[in-house]
Structure 1
Amino acid sequence: MTWTCDVDTLNPAVTGAAVSMASSVVWALTGMRFGTCEVTLRPCRRDCGGSFFDDFGPPWTGSWSYPQPALIGGQWLNLTCGGCAGDCSCSTVSEVLLPAPVNRIVAVKVDGTPLVTGAYRVDNNRLLVRTDGGEWPRCNDLALSDSEVGTWSVTAAYGEDIPDGAALAVGQLACEIAKAAAGGDCKLPAGLQQLARQGVTISYPDVGELFRQGRTGLYLVDLFVATWNPHGLRQRSRVYNVDRPTVRRTGT
C-alpha cells in the first residue's frame, strides 16, 4: 500500500484500522476479484500405465501410442491410453490434474522432500507435468502427513494477483478514513448536497447515489474501480461442474 498523505502525526492504531477498512472496501468494490490463497492438495497421478477397465469384462492392460481395436460386448472399440500422451508426443506424459485455474505452484513435496522448481511445469493452468524424467508417485498415503515417506502433495496458489494500481487506491482511501477518524478534514463525501453562501452556490454529489454506483468520490479509488469492475459486479463469476471428480484438500 502507498500512502497519499502525511500520516506521521496520526495514531498508529487509527492508521492500521484505516488500512484494513480501505482494503476491504476496495476489494468489495472490485467484485471481490483480487487476492490469492494457498491450498495444499493431495492428488493421485494421471498417466497411461496400469489397466483399462470397462463395464463388460476384465481389464485391458498396457500403454499404446495409437488406438487399439478390441471386441467388447459384441462391439469393436478403439482403446487408448487415456489421453495423457498428446497428439504431437511419442512418449507418455506423467501429469496430475489440479483444480483450475492455478495461479502458481508454491511447492511440490514427494516423500516429504520438496522438488526443485525445474522438475515440473504447469500446462493449461491445471496440469502439473513432471519434466525431470521422473514420474509422479502412483500411491499417496492420505493417512500420513505430507512430510512422511509414501506421500506427496502440491501446494498451489489460487486467485488473481493484485494490480499495482491497488496500492494507490487503497492508500488514498485509507488516508481519508484515517483523517476522518482523527477528527480532521477529509475528502470523503458527506451528506451535504448544496451549499449557498454570499451569492455562491456549490453543489455536491449525492453520496447515496455514489455508493449505489460503487463509487467513493475519490479520484484514484474510483479510477481503479472503474478500470477493473466497470459493470459493478458484486463478486467474480464462478463455474461449477458437479460431475467432475475433485482433488482431495487436506485439512479442509
Structure 2
Amino acid sequence: MPLRIGPCEPWPFDPVCCNLPDGVDEDVIDRQRVVATFILWALSGRRVGPSCPYTVRPCRRACLDASPLTVNWQTAGPWIPYLGRDGAWRNASVCGCKSDCSCGELCEVRLEAPVHDVLAVEIDGVTLPQNAYRVDSAGLLVRTDGGCWPDCQDMAAPCGAPNTFCVTYRIGLPLDEAAITAFSTMVCHLVKDCSGGCGCNVASNKNLSRLSRQGVDLEFADPTLIYSEMRTGIPAVDLWLNAVNPYRQTSPSRVFSPDFKRPRLQIWP
C-alpha cells in the first residue's frame, strides 16, 4: 500500500495578482483552495507539496542485509565477519554501518522519500528533540545525538507504549515560488467561475470549441483534449506543470528491493 494518499491542507495562497471581484466570500476562496490543491497535486505527479502526516514503525537495516554473504546475525552475536572491498576480513556490528563515507558507525533508518519534514520521533513513548536527528537524501533518518535507533520493537503494542519506535512525518517536494504562483492563479480562476466572474474568458465548465456570430468565427481549444493531456488550459498553471511534470507522470516513480525493509504503517483501526 502506498503511503501517500493526498494533501490534508491547502497550499499557500497569494492573491496579489488575482483581481478577484469585490465581495467574494472567504468561504468560497477557502473551498477553491482545497480543490486547486488536490488538482495540482495530482497533475504534478502526486509529488509536490506536503502530504498528510504519517506515523510509521521503521525497521532497522543491518550492515549485511545486501551482502552476498548470508549470515544470520541472531546466531552469530553482535559482531559478524565480512569481506571488505580491499580484501581484508572485518567484523560488522548489527547496530550501525561503517562505510567509505563515514569514519564511524552511522545509525540510520530509511523512510519513504521524498521526506518533506519530520514532525515527531518517539522511542518508548518519549519524543526526541529535533536536534537529535536529521534527514539525509534519500529518506535516511540519521541519529546525531550519539544514540542509536532500536534494533527491534514490539509491533503489537501501540505507539507510545514501552518498546516501540514511531516516526511521524510528511512526504512531498517543497513548494517554491513558482508552485505558489501557479496555485494562486488556479484558485483565482476557480473563484471567478464560481462567483459569476469570467475565468480565461470562458467558464471552465463549458466545453465550447467554436463560436460563430454576425460573420465572426471564433475557435477555441477543445477543453477535453487539454484535460486528457493533464493540463488546465491556464497558461501560468500549464507552464509550471510542464516544468515539474514534463512527461505527465500520474504517480511518483518507485524502486522496490527485497534488501530494504519498508516502514510499517497501521491502516486499521
**Bin of the TM-score, shorter chain as denominator length:** 0.7 to 0.9
Cα contact 1:41–1:248 (8 A) shared by 2: yes
Q: Is the 8 A contact 1:42 1:154 kept in 2?
A: yes
Matches within 5 A, 1:33-182: 33-37=47-51, 38-46=53-61, 54=71, 59-63=75-79, 67=83, 80-81=91-92, 84-87=97-100, 89-182=102-195
Between structure 1 and structure 2, the one with the greater Rg is 1
Aligned residues: 239
Indicate if the aligned counterparts of 1:46 and 1:94 stay in contact, CA closer than 8 A. Answer: no
Tell me the secondary structure at the aligned position of residue 40 of structure 1. Answer: strand
**1:6 aligned to 2:28?**
no
What is the alpha-carbon distance in structure 2 between the residues aligned to residue 108 and residue 67 of structure 1?
Answer: 35
**4+ residue runs over 6 A deviation:** none
Q: Counterpart of 1:74?
A: none
Q: Over aligned residue pairs, what C-alpha RMSD do you find?
A: 3.6
Aligned-partner SS, 2:190:
helix
Alpha-carbon offset, residue 157 of structure 1: 2.2
* CA–CA separation in structure 1 for the residues paired with 2:267 and 2:223: 45
Unaligned runs of 5+ in 2: 1-12, 64-68
TM-score by structure 2 length?
0.70
Give distance in 2, aligned partners of 1:232 and 1:188. Answer: 26
Alpha-carbon distance, 1:188 to partner: 5.2
Corresponding residue for residue 233 of structure 1: 249
Offset of residue 232 of structure 1? 2.8
Structure 1 unpaired stretches of 5+: 69-76
2:43 counterpart residue number: 29
The 2-side partners of 1:47 and 1:213 are apart by: 44
User: What is the percent sequence identity of the aligned residues?
Assistant: 33
* Aligned counterparts of 1:89 and 1:175: Cα–Cα separation in 2: 50
The amino acid of 1:27's aligned partner reads W
- Secondary structure of 2:265's counterpart equals coil
Between the aligned partners of 1:121 and 1:233, the Cα distance in structure 2 is 30
1:138/1:30 CA distance change after superposition, 3 Å:
closer
Residues 161-219 of structure 1: CA distance to partner in whole angstroms, max 9, x if unpaired?
A: 2332233323223223222233333325450424454x655443333333333333322
Name 1:193's counterpart in structure 2. 210
Matched to 2:55, the amino acid is T
* CA 195–216 in structure 1, closer or farther in 2 if over 3 Å, else same: farther
1-structure distance, mates of 2:81, 2:137: 22
TM-score normalized with structure 1 length:
0.74
Q: Distance in 2 between matches of 1:240 and 1:53?
A: 20
- The alpha-carbon distance between structure 1 residues 128 and 11, as it changes in their structure 2 partners (threshold 3 A), is closer
Counterparts of 2:248 and 2:71, CA distance in 1: 49
Match of 1:72 in 2: none
